[in-house]
Structure 1
Amino acid sequence: MKFIPVNTPLLNGNELKYLTECITTGWISSEGPFIKEFEAKFSSYIGQKHGIAVSNGSAALDIAIKALGICMGDEVIMPTFTIISPAQSIVTAGATPVLVDCSLTNWNMNVVEIESKITERTKAILVVHIYGLPVDMSSILTLAKRYKLKIIEDAAEVHGQTYNGQKCGSFGDVSIFSFYPNKHITTGEGGMILTNDQHLADRCQKLRNLCFEPYGPRFVHYELGWNYRMTNLQAALGLAQLEQIDYFIDKKRKLGSFYQRELSFLKDFGFLLPEESSDFAENIYWVFGLVASSEEEKENLVAFLNQNKIATRPFFWCMHEQPVFKEMGLFQNESYPNAEKLARNGFYLPSGLGTEEEDLERVVSVIKNYKN
Structure 2
Amino acid sequence: MKFSDVVKNIVSSTSDPMTPQEIRDQVKMKHPDFYGTPAHHRNVEKGHYKDLDHALLAQIYTITGTSDTFQCDKSTKPMKISLTGFEKPLRRPMEVSGTAPRRIVPAERKTKYNDKIREILSNAERYHDAYYKAETFRGPSLYFHERALATRYDPTSLTHLEYVYATLASWGMHRMGRGGSKMRSFQVLSQSVQTLKGRIAEAQTFDFREMSEIKWAVLKEIFCGVKVMASGTTLVGNSKVMHHMLPNIIPPIDREYTLRFLRGNTTIRNDLEIEWLLMKEIISQFFIPVASDATFYSKAEQWMKRNEAYPWDTSVLKVVDNLVIGSKK
TM-score range, shorter chain: under 0.3
Between Structure 1 and Structure 2, the one with more strand by share is: 1
TM-score by length of 1: 0.26
Point out which structure has higher relative CO (alpha carbons under 8 A, 6+ apart): 1
